[in-house]
Amino acid sequence: KAEQQLTVKATTDDLTGCLNRSTILQQLKMALAASSPQDVSSHFCLLMFDLDYFKQINDRWGHQVGDAALIHFCDRIREVSPAGSALGRVGGEEFVLLLARTDGMAATLLSSRLRAALISKPLRVGDKTLVLSFSAGVVEVCQGQRDTSAILMRADKALYDAKRTGRGKTVLASDYL
């Protein structure tokens, strides 16, 4: 039991209960190693999320409400994400969701469903009601891609494009950087 608790502590984010950065990146590497250009079922998608206006939440209502927003965000994403997906926190308000056997279009549609689920159930903290949203970048990983840094850069660029064009959007990464 103590060993199991240590493993959980070493692999999860203390605040949100999501996988921590090193664990989600390790899962990405394992998914890449298992993928094959010949086997379409081994293809997967990576969604990179960033909670919109998170700095304003922290600045206006404090870090305690900001923490509650992160926890609420993760809880909603986990509730709606398909079985077998992996959600990890890679930075302050930045998260990665790995989706097995999913193409870019399906991942983009899932992102819309995740956003709708988040909006439909606002965060209530005391007398405050916060409607949260996110921007997302999607990368379809297939054809024997192996470079985790390049995949993360593509997802980050797509996420930046979603934020730049108005937030609350999902952008599917193009095949070039």
What's the angle, vertex CA 15, arms to CA 148 and CA 60, rounded to 5?
Answer: 105
Residue 98 has pLDDT above 90, yes or no: yes
Is position 79 annotated as part of the catalytic site?
no
Query: Residue 111, Cβ neighbours under 10 Å: how many?
Result: 25
| Model confidence pLDDT, tens digit, residues 60-88 | 999 999 999 999 999 999 999 999 999 99
Cα separation, 122 vs 106, in Å, equals: 25
**pLDDT for position 39:** 66
> At residue 127, does pLDDT exceed 50?
yes
The stretches of 45-130 forming alpha helices (DSSP H) are: 54-61, 63-80, 104-120
Please, are residues 47 and 107 in contact by the beta-carbon 8 Å criterion? yes
Question: Mean pLDDT in the chain?
Answer: 92
Nearest to 117 by CA among 171, 74, 70, 160: 74
| Catalytically annotated residue among 3, 93, 94, 140 | 93
> Where would I find the beta strands (DSSP E) of 28-177?
44-51, 86-89, 94-100, 123-125, 128-130, 134-141, 170-172
Band the pLDDT of 52: cuts 50, 70, 90: very high
Does the pTM of the predicted model rise above 0.85? yes
Query: Looking at residue 9, what is its pLDDT?
Result: 83
Reduced to 3 states (helix: H, G, I; strand: E, B; else coil), residue 12 is strand
Task: Give me the pLDDT at residue 117, please.
Answer: 96
Higher pLDDT: 9 or 72? It is 72
Fold of 2-91+103-165: Alpha-Beta Plaits (3.30.70)
Residue 177 in this model has a pLDDT that exceeds 50: no
Q: How confident is the model at residue 1 (pLDDT cuts 50, 70, 90)?
A: confident
Short-list 105, 119, 113, 97, CA closest to 171: 105
Share of the chain above pLDDT 70, in %: 93
- Residue ranges of domains in the chain: 2-91+103-165
User: Which DSSP state fits 92?
Assistant: S
Instruction: Name the token pair of 104.
Output: 């870019």
